[in-house]
Amino acid sequence: MADGGGEPDQLAGERATAQFDVDGMKVAWAGSRHAVEVADRMARLVASDPVFRKDTRTMLSRKELFKDTLKKAAHAWKRIVELRLTEEEANLLRLYVDQPGYVDLHWGMFVPAIKGQGTEEQQKKWLPMAYKFQIIGCYAQTELGHGSNVQGLETTATFDPSADEFVMHSPTLTSSKWWPGGLGKASTHAVVYARLITEGKDYGIHGFIVQLRSLDDHSPLPGVTLGDIGGKFGSGAYNSMDNGVLRFDHVRIPRDQMLMRLSQVTREGKYVHSDVPKQLLYGTMVYVRQTIVADASKALSRAVCIAVRYSAIRKQFGSQDGGPETQVLNYKTQQSRLFPLLASAYAYRFVGQWLKWLYTDVTQKLEAKDYSTLPEAHACTAGLKSVTTSATADAIEECRKLCGGHGYLNSSGLPELFAVYVPACTYEGDNVVLLLQVSVVLHLVARFLMKTVAQVATGKQPVGTIAYMGNIQHLMQCKSAVNTAEDWLNPAAIKEVFEARALRMAVNCAQNISKAPSQEEGFSELSPDLLEAAVAHVQLIIVTKFIEKLQEDIPGPGVKEQLQKLCSIYALHLLHKHLGDFLSTGCITARQGALANELLGKLYAQVRPNAVALVDAFDYTDHYLGSVLGRYDGDVYPALYEEAWKDPLNETVVPDGYQEHLRPLLKQQLKLSRL
C-alpha cells in the first residue's frame, strides 16, 4: 500500500473486472502464441541485464549517451552471437533495448539497400562482411539542400574510364550529406546516393558503396570530411544516434562499387539500363516505411499503456463525505480522449501486420520479375506511414496531457517517447510529401473512372486497396441506411460510408482539377484538398483491415468481442472527428452522425472495465515502458518520490552555484532590507 493515496491494489481490482481472456488477447496482438513467447523471453532477457538499464538516460551528457549506445550495441551483439539468437529474436532484442543507434541504419537500410539494388556478385562480396559487423554501414541520401526531392540531390559520381573508377564529389555546401544516422561517428561505409555522370552525361541518382573510415583506426579516409550534425530535440531520445555530415573531395571508388542491379556502367563508360523499373532505387525506403507502420503501434501502445494505468490510479474530485475521490479514468472526457487512442493502437497493429504481408508478397513478385504491384506497395507504405506516424505523435502528446503534471516529468517516460518518436513524421519521407504521392494515384484513378464510368463494368477495374473505387456508380450516390445508434455496429455500414467518403473526396478533387487552366496548376491549387482525400483513403484502408482481421478465427473467451468494440470505436471516432467530410460529401445525415456519437459513448462505457486488461495484453515489461506512471503494480507515488531524489540536482542539498550566485544576492537583499 502506497503512502498518501496511491493504491497499487487498484490495478489488481481493475484486472479483475476484465471480461475477456488476456492471454488470448496477447496472442491476437502478437500474431501467434509463438510470437508472444519469443517477445516475452527477449523482453525479460533485456530487462534483467544491467547493461541495458535506461533509467538515467535523460540525465546523461551527449557524449555519455553516445558511448552508452556503443556499449549497448556491442553487448547486444555479443549476446546475439553467444545465444545464437534467430533474426526474429535479435529484432525483438533490439526493440526492447529501446535506444536508437547506428545498428538501426546498418541493418535497417544499408543491408537492405545492397540486397535490393546490388547484383548477386555485389551481395556476395558485401553482405557477409555486413552480417558479421566487419563493416558498419549507413544510408547516405539526404543532403543539406535536399531531402524530400531525391532527384534534386547534388553529390556527383563521375566515371573516369582511364582508371575504371568513380570520382565522388560534393560540389557545393548544400550537397553535403546531412542527417544519415550512424554516419557521424560509427559507420565505416555508406550507400551514397549521387548523380551518375558518364561520357559527359548526367544519368540521375544512383547508389554507390563508399568506404568512409579506415578499418584500422576509424579515421576518415583521404578526401572524406565527417562529423555529427549536433544535438536534437529532447533529452536522451534520438540524441543516442550520430546523425552525420559527409563531404567528398574527389574521392575515388572502384567502378564495381556502383550498385548495379538496376543499371550498369561498362568498362568503357557506357550507361546500360536493365529491365528492372527505375523506381526500385526507392525500394529501401518502401521497406523501411513498412517497418515504421508496425513501429507506430508499438510507440502508441506504450503511451496508451502508461496513460490507461495511471488514469486508473490517479484520483481527483468527487469525494463524498470524506470517501475516496474519483479515478480520472471514470471521467467521460478522459475516456473519450483515451479510448480512441487505445483502439488506434490495435488498429495500427493489425494494419502493420497486413502491410508486412503485402510487402513480402510484393518482394516475392519482384523476384519473379513481376513489377505490377509496385505502385500499390508504394502508395500503401507512403500513405500508411504518413497517417499512422502523424496520429501516433499527436497521441503520445495527448497521453502526456492525460497524465496531468506528472506526465511532463521525464520519469513518466512520455517526454522521451515523444521526442524519440516525433521525427518519424519527417524521416523516410515528410508526411505531407508522402500523402501527395498517394493523392497522385487517387487522382489518376478518379479521373480515369470519371471518364469511363459508363463502361466501368467492362473497363479495366482498379485492384488492391483502390478496388472499392471501381464501385463508383453505387458509392457516388448511396445513402447510409443507419437508423439507430446500434446500426453503426454493422461493419458493412461503416465500410460503405468510409468508401463513399474517400471516393467522393477524390472525385471532387479530380473534377475541380479538371477546371483549372492546366492539370499541374490545378494539382498545386488543390493540394490541401488532395491531402484530405488521401487521408480519407488511408483511413479507409486501416478500418477495412481491422474489419477483415475480425473475420479471422480469433480464439479466447471474449477476445473477439473486445476487438469488435475497439474496431467500432476506431472507425466511429474518425467519423466523429471528420464529420465535416462525411456530411459535406452527403454520405451521412447529421442525425446519423449524432447516432454514431451516441454509440461511441456507450462503447466507451463497455470498454471501461476492460481498459487495464487491454493494455496488459501488450505484454510490456516495466523496463520497456520506462515509466513510473505506467508501472504494472500501480505503485506510482512512492516510485515518483524515489525517482526525484535520483536527479543530479539532488546530489547536494545546497546547489552548486550557491556561493557564486545565490549567496551574494541574498546578502545584498539583507543589506537592502536593513536600509
Ligand X SMILES: CCCCCCCCCCCCCCCCCCCCCCC/C=C/C(=O)SCCNC(=O)CCNC(=O)[C@H](O)C(C)(C)COP(=O)(O)OP(=O)(O)OC[C@H]1O[C@@H](n2cnc3c(N)ncnc32)[C@H](O)[C@@H]1OP(=O)(O)O
* Catalytic positions, written as ranges: 428
Q: What is the largest CA-CA distance in the chain?
A: 98
Of 65 and 541, CB closest to ligand X: 65
Q: How many CA atoms lie within 13 A of 390 on its CB side?
A: 16
Pairing mode, strands 137-140 and 189-198: parallel
Answer yes or no: are the C-beta atoms of 524 and 436 closer than 8 Å: no
Check binding of 105 to ligand FAD (CB under 6 A).
yes
Instruction: Please give the Cα distance from 149 to 143 (Å, whole number).
Output: 10
The residue from 6, 112, 181, 470 that contacts ligand FAD (CB under 6 A) is 181
Indicate which single residue of 141, 198, 297, 412 sits in contact with ligand FAD (rule: CB under 6 A).
141
Q: How far is the CB of 574 from ligand X (least distance, A)?
A: 26
412 binds, among ligand X, ligand FAD, none (CB under 5 to 8 A by kind): none
Minimum CB separation of residue 369 from ligand X in Å reads: 16
Binding partner selected for residue 432 from ligand X, ligand FAD, none, CB under the kind-specific 5 to 8 Å limit = ligand FAD
Residue 340 lies near ligand FAD (rule: CB under 6 A): no
Site residues (vs ligand X, CB under 6 A): 69, 72-73, 76-77, 80, 90-91, 93-94, 97, 99, 101, 103-104, 107-108, 139, 141-142, 148-151, 181, 279, 282, 285-286, 288, 291, 374, 378, 427-429, 433, 437
- Choice from 29, 107, 427, 620 touching ligand FAD (CB under 6 A): 427
Tell whether residue 137 is a contact of ligand FAD (CB under 6 A).
no
Interface with ligand FAD by CB under 6 A: which range of 177-185, 379-387, 448-456, 567-575?
A: 177-185
Q: Which is nearer to ligand X, 338 or 435 (CB)?
A: 435
Closest to 143 in 3D by CA, of 229, 32, 208, 53: 229
Q: Where are the alpha helices (DSSP H) in 454-526?
A: 472-475, 491-515, 519-525
Query: Please, which contacts does 79-82 make with residues 24 or more away whose CB atoms are closer than 8 Å?
Result: 79/45, 79/49
Q: How far is the CB of 289 from ligand X (least distance, A)?
A: 8
Query: Which of 222/230 has CB closer to ligand FAD?
Result: 230
Identify what 567 binds: ligand FAD, ligand X, none; CB under 5 to 8 Å per kind.
none
Q: Do β-strands 224-228 and 244-248 pair in parallel, antiparallel, or remain unpaired?
A: antiparallel
Q: Is 432 in the site for ligand FAD (CB under 6 A)?
A: yes
Please tell me whether residue 179 binds ligand FAD under the rule CB under 6 A.
yes
Please state the residue numbers annotated as binding site for FAD.
Answer: 142, 181
Q: How far apart are CA 601 and CA 597, in angstroms?
A: 7
The number of CA neighbours under 13 Å toward the Cβ of 352 is: 26
In angstroms, the CA 96 to CA 44 distance is 9
Q: How far is the CB of 148 from ligand FAD (least distance, A)?
A: 3
Residue 332 or 460 with smaller CB distance to ligand X:
460
- Residue 103 touches which of ligand FAD, ligand X, none (CB < 5 to 8 A by kind)? ligand X
Q: How far is the CB of 237 from ligand X (least distance, A)?
A: 13
Of the pair 116, 634, the CB lying nearest ligand X is at 116
SS3 505: helix
- Does the footprint of ligand FAD cover residue 433 (CB under 6 A)? yes
Q: Give 437 or 606: the residue with its C-beta nearer to ligand FAD.
A: 437
Q: Which does 597 bind (CB under 5 to 8 A by kind): ligand FAD, ligand X, none?
A: none
**How far is the first Cα of the chain from the last one, in angstroms, to the nearest whole number?**
54
Q: Which one of 293-301, 366-374, 430-438, 614-622 is the stretch in contact with ligand FAD (CB under 6 A)? A: 430-438
Residues sharing a CB contact under 8 Å with residue 594, sequence separation 6 or more, in sequence order: none
Subset of residues 237 to 256 that bind ligand FAD, contact rule: CB under 6 A: 238, 243
Query: Can residue 148 be called a binding residue for ligand FAD (CB under 6 A)?
Result: yes
Element (H, E) at 393: helix 374-402
For residue 180, state whether it binds ligand FAD (rule: CB under 6 A): yes
Q: Does 208 bind ligand FAD (CB under 6 A)?
A: no
Residue 441 CB partners (closer than 8 Å, separation 6+)? 375, 379, 466
Strand partners, 252: 167
By C-beta, is 243 or 480 nearer to ligand X? 243
- Contacts of residue 236, defined as CB under 8 A and 6 or more positions apart, other chains included, come to 57, 58, 60, 65, 410, 416, 419, 420
Nearest distance, CB of residue 43 and ligand X, angstroms: 14
What lies within 8 Å, CB to CB, of 536 at 6+ separation is 498, 501, 502, 505, 506, 578, 581
Question: Which of ligand X, ligand FAD, none interacts with 378 (beta carbon under 5 to 8 A by kind)?
Answer: ligand X
CB 306 within 8 A of CB 414: yes
Q: Which three cell numbers stand for residue 162?
A: 582511364
C-alpha cell of residue 480: 447510409
Which SS3 state, helix, strand or coil, does residue 616 take?
Answer: helix
Which residues form the interface with ligand FAD (CB under 6 A)? 105, 139-142, 147-148, 179-181, 238, 243, 423, 426-427, 429-430, 432-433, 436
